Chains A and B, each alone.
Chain A
Amino acid sequence: MSAKKGPSIDENVQLNLVPMVDIMFLLLLFFMLGADMGHRELEDVKLPEADVSSVKEDTTPDERTTVNVYHETRGAKCQVYEALQKAGGTSSQICRDMAHWKVGIRGIDYPLDGVTKSAGPNSDGLSMKEKLFMEAESNRPDPNNKTLSERRLQIRGDEAGPYGVVQRVMNTCAEVGIYKIEIGAATKAPE
């Protein structure tokens, strides 16, 4: 008797990877283009919304100075600010404790009074006024005239901050001759 042979099956199963690689490439492209790798000197600030803010970039980051005004308690709790965050920024009560508000320029915190030197591990030993004076010096049309500078300054202020903090930055700018101000604002998402 001859043994019965089953039908021979050629199990040459190949996984076609091409569609998967295509999709992976597309995903990679999406994430790479959508990722926020922008150098914004770099504190996380919740900007106030504005309807008619211009998104056109007419200056490069090298041509302007960015000043971030943000809330930082170094681990301590600020109940007012936390309550505001929970309320989605709609509460009318804001944190007015000046010690909780920081002014950051190129990653360094400067005291609000403008004349006290910065301190800390990343400090450059300058006051806010000295730092802004150096920034102003980089674009003075008339080197002999120390009262005007063409340097642009962008203020990225937390929407929940008091205007007094931003006003101190503005006062220091006026003192060193920077008068061209850009106010950072979030543009509303289209409905």
Chain B
Amino acid sequence: MAGATMADEGDNPVALNVTPLVDIIFCLCLFFLCSFHFKQLEGKLDAWLPQGAGPRAGHGEVTLEELRVGVRWDAERAAIATRVNDHPAADVRELEALLTQRREHLVAAGVGVPPVTIDADPEVPWQGVVRVTDVCRRARLDRIEFAAPAAAIPASGR
């Protein structure tokens, strides 16, 4: 590297000595090469916690206009079991179909689309809960709430 610039200097009195530049770029490249890992592309799913809905959000009776997805942990099968209101769903596709059907029914009845409340067992893997949330979004249910135990509801909400 240095030899080339010496020759340049002989030919051209204003030659630019690029050796330090190349050295520094080498060092920078080495640093980034060693510390490099790709960015994980992260997204988010918006959801809501109960605010003024009070204990009903977590422990009330299911009404006709309500959409509640229960997520339970089936220890025998080591798998999650889901249901929409009182209708069990065998798998994720059936869950999506049930939610879509329920949504269309409510829209046709002029009730409007209520928020869907996800009521999950503490034993359920977080991946399963996120999967259910994802299915709700795929079924065009954008208002997603999580049921909370009554003890967690602010006092004014009761």
Tell me the A residues contacting B by CB distance below 8 Å: 12, 14-17, 20-21, 24-25, 27-28, 31-32, 34-36, 38, 47-55, 69, 89, 92-94, 96, 145, 147-148, 154, 157-167, 170-175, 177-187, 189
Contact = CB atoms under 8 A, between A and B. Distances in A.
Nearest to A180: B48
Contacts of B49: 170, 173-174, 178-179, 181
Contact of B134 (A36, A51, A93, A163): A51
Interface in B86-144: 120-131, 133-134, 137-138
Given A96-B123, A145-B156, A185-B43, 12 more contacts: A21-B25, A28-B25, A38-B39, A55-B42, A92-B125, A147-B155, A162-B123, A163-B122, A167-B120, A179-B51, A181-B47, A182-B45
A157 B71 CA distance: 18
Secondary structure dominating the interface of A: mixed
B145 to A, nearest CB: 9
Interface string B41-67: 111111111110000000000000000
Contacts of B133: 50, 183
A14 B9 CA distance: 11
B44 A183 contact: yes
Interface of B: 1, 3-4, 7-8, 18, 21-22, 25-26, 28-29, 32-33, 35-51, 71, 78-79, 120-131, 133-134, 137-138, 146, 148-149, 151-157
Contacts of A165: 126
A20 B32 CA distance: 18
11 contacts: A24-B29, A31-B36, A34-B36, A38-B39, A50-B45, A51-B134, A53-B43, A53-B134, A92-B125, A164-B123, A171-B148
